[in-house]
Chain A
Amino acid sequence: MSAIKELNTQLEPLVTGNPTFASVTQRISELTEGKQPNKGWWVCFLAALGLLFMMKTLILYLIWEGTGIWGLNNPVGWGWAIVNFVWWVGIGHAGTLISAILFLFRQKWRTSINRFAEAMTIFAVMCALVFPGIHIGRVWVAYWMFPLPNQMQMWPNFRSPLLWDVFAVGTYFTVSCLFWFVGLIPDLATLRDRSTGKIRRFIYGFFAFGWRGGNRQWQHYEKAYLILAGISTPLVLSVHTVVSFDFAVSIVPGWHTTIFPPYFVAGAVFSGFAMVMTLGIIARKIYHLEDFITLRHLETMNKVMLLTGMLVGYAYGCEFFVAAYSGNIYETAIFINRAFGPYAWAYWTMIFCNVVVPQAFWWKKARRCIPWMFVASILINIGMWFERFVITVTSLAQDYLPSSWDYFRPTIFDIGIFVGSFGLFFTFFLLFLRFLPAIAISEVKGVLPQANPHHGGEH
């Protein structure tokens, strides 16, 4: 414990501008109060809402007309819908990872970012959940996936990874929500106490569950938080592991690989952090949170990305080695085709974004250069989308019988619904920024120098 304290004191402070408890509360809370929302917020929000509406319309048309409006064909039965699903779920990883695992490891630097990281997680998972729902041929009987008693005396097939998926992602979503909400309670109380309007007061009050900040409450709160952190930690690993089973359990060359679970988790963390980075930098800029989200935070995240990026890169290499080493002609062929076949363009985009770009973070300069890390984070997100595309589509396009090989072309509906999902994401995210403290007030206070019992160092 003390060692970490030492470390923390030696390292540059987690919060700069030497704020007081009061100023912290003020700075963060005011974002949800007063003049807000400003024009900029409205512009973004309406844009997001527009996209959301577009997605809704496209989905209605999809359900009306059938999945044929997408570019799917016979060998390629899963296209963008599944790619987007995996991508969004991946992004949904950072939040819980940061809040839960880093919490358990007492990584205090998480405090300024965990709140919106978690929010992001939840919204990302919501986006993710849309896709498996709509990609099936007969949406109206999707409930057959759930074990409900029925006159057919039929049960779902518990051997199917898709079913595991439903449960895994469902659980993850629920727990993340709880975790996030529990974390919010003290801050909601703060907002309640600060709020002037009746309605505001009532709403915050309702969700603050009558928080008074008493000792016992804090005690219980910390316990609950710790337990939830304990529960979510394995989930962080399990979700994407199970998602990866959708592929790994099948026999499609390029899918059927034991390396998938760790590989997917690493990828998920990778993309998750990239997204946190992107959003963090924007929020930081707009809301002048430089004092809370300091360069130190960003740099640490860059380090994580460098690590996970290399893990992913290693996985790519590993796949090729295994393919070559196995001597399995189908396996070998699929990887040769990935790198040099009709989808080479997608493959090399992926390699560039996910493996080459992060290498820059070996240099401190790059790690601390905000414009660069902003660009990098976006490139990484693109790269990670392509990773899922490469895995899903290219493997299907050229499997066992060359006679069935075909090429996948997306339609405007593939693209539209994907773009629309950002609408869903940002609508919620902007609402979050508007009405909830984007940074965990109480936790940040916890890492202020003043919070250190030895503050001032008299004794």
Chain B
Amino acid sequence: MAGLLTVGFIWYYGSPEYTDVGYQPVQPVPFSHKMHVGDLGMDCRYCHNFVDQSHEANVPPTQTCMNCHQLVLPESEQLAPIRQSWQSGKPMEWIRVHKIPDYAYFDHSVHLAAGVGCASCHDRVDQMEVVTLKKSLSMGWCLDCHRDPTPHLRDLTATSVTDMEWQPGENQLAFAKEIMEKKNINPRTDCSACHR
């Protein structure tokens, strides 16, 4: 009996069942990606401006918010924490939604260079009132794409990685094969690809 329970427990933990998909913490400021990206059509890289140069997609400094919000809604109640941070110099404490373990090293820049769009992992952020974890970000999930990236590769001459609407065309497979050849994209499944 106990044996069964342990097995079941381990099984459950080990399986993709057990991931945090749906994680949707309440942020200090109810920043709406839907409004900024979806409605106003801002590019992801206005705020996450180093995403194509660094392994991390930097969360913008308070300054970036203030660039606009000194003029736009300068009095807004919801933006009070931002203004405080700006005056006090005490940084904002956003709650991390997309997190992979410390022993796994993910690099944004190289994925962007390969033509993998933001939406592939972060899903339709432009439709999210509150940012939610939509993909499991589990090792198996990473491997699925590393074993066959073809459905996720974009033609960066035609579209941009930040384009949220992008859908693979009907000749996607052919294109992907070609671009992988051209850019020498060969996602590694070796342990050393992500674990250092």
Task: Say whether A38 faces chain B, with CB atoms less than 8 Å apart.
Answer: no
B residues less than 8 Å from A151 (CB atoms): 14-16, 18-19, 136, 138-141
Instruction: Give the distance to chain B from A199, nearest Cβ to Cβ, in Å.
Output: 22
Q: Flag whether A143 is at the interface (Cβ < 8 A).
A: yes
Min distance, Cβ B29 to any Cβ of chain A, angstroms: 33
In residues 137-174 of chain B, which contact A (Cβ within 8 Å)? Answer: 138-141, 143
Least distance between A353 CB and chain B CB atoms (Å): 39
How many Å from the CB of B163 to the closest CB on chain A? Answer: 30
B10 within 8 Å of A (CB atoms): yes
A403 is an interface residue with CB less than 8 A from chain B: no
A153 and B136 CA atoms in complex are apart in Å by 13
Q: How far is the CB of A292 from chain B (nearest CB, A)?
A: 37
- A149 on the B face (CB < 8 A): yes
Per the 8 Å Cβ criterion, residues 127-159 of A in contact with B are: 143, 148-154
Asked if B105 lies at the interface with its beta carbon under 8 angstroms from chain A, I say no
Residues of A within 8 A of B16 (CB): 151
A149 touches B15 (CB 8 A): yes
Q: How near does chain B come to A146, taking the closest CB pair, in angstroms?
A: 8
Q: Is B11 an interface position by the 8 A CB rule?
A: yes
Q: Which A146-176 residues sit within 8 Å CB-CB of chain B?
A: 148-154
Min C-beta distance of A174 to chain B, whole Å? 13
CB of B154 to closest CB in A, whole Å: 26
- Min Cβ gap B23→A in Å is 15
Check B140–A152 contact: CB distance below 8 A: yes
- In Å, the complex CA distance between A152 and B143 comes to 9
| Whole-angstrom distance between the Cβ of B90 and the nearest chain A Cβ | 38
For the complex, what is the distance from the CA of A93 to the CA of B12, rounded to whole Å? 37
CB closest residue in chain B, given A153? B140
A154 CB to nearest chain B CB (Å): 8
Kindly state the separation between the CA atoms of A143 and B10 in the bound complex, as whole angstroms: 8
Chain B residue with Cβ nearest A144: B14
Min CB distance, B173 to chain A, in Å?
A: 23
Which residues from chain B contact A150 at a C-beta distance below 8 Å? 13-15, 140
Residues of chain B lying within 8 A (CB to CB) of residue A143? 10
Chain A residue nearest to B7 (CB atoms) is A148
Minimal beta-carbon separation of A192 from chain B (angstroms): 25
Among A148, A152, A153, point to the contact of B11 (Cβ < 8 A). Answer: A148
The B1-55 residues at the A interface (CB cut-off 8 A) are 10-11, 13-16, 18-19
Residues of B within 8 A of A148 (CB): 10-11, 14
A153 to B18, CA, bound (A): 14
How far apart sit A149 and B13, CA to CA, in the bound complex (Å)? 10
Which residues of the other chain, A, contact B15 by a CB distance below 8 angstroms?
149-151
A152 touches B138 (CB 8 A): yes
CB closest residue in chain A, given B13: A150
In the complex, what's the smallest C-beta–C-beta distance from A144 to chain B, in angstroms?
9
Shortest distance between the CB of A169 and any CB in chain B (Å) = 17
Q: Which 3 A-B pairs have the closest CB atoms?
A: A150-B14, A151-B138, A153-B140
5 pairs, A vs B, C-beta closer than 8 Å: A148-B11, A149-B11, A149-B14, A151-B15, A152-B139
Q: A149-B15, A153-B140 are in contact. List 8 more A-B contacts (CB 8 A).
A: A148-B14, A150-B15, A150-B140, A151-B14, A151-B15, A151-B136, A152-B138, A152-B139
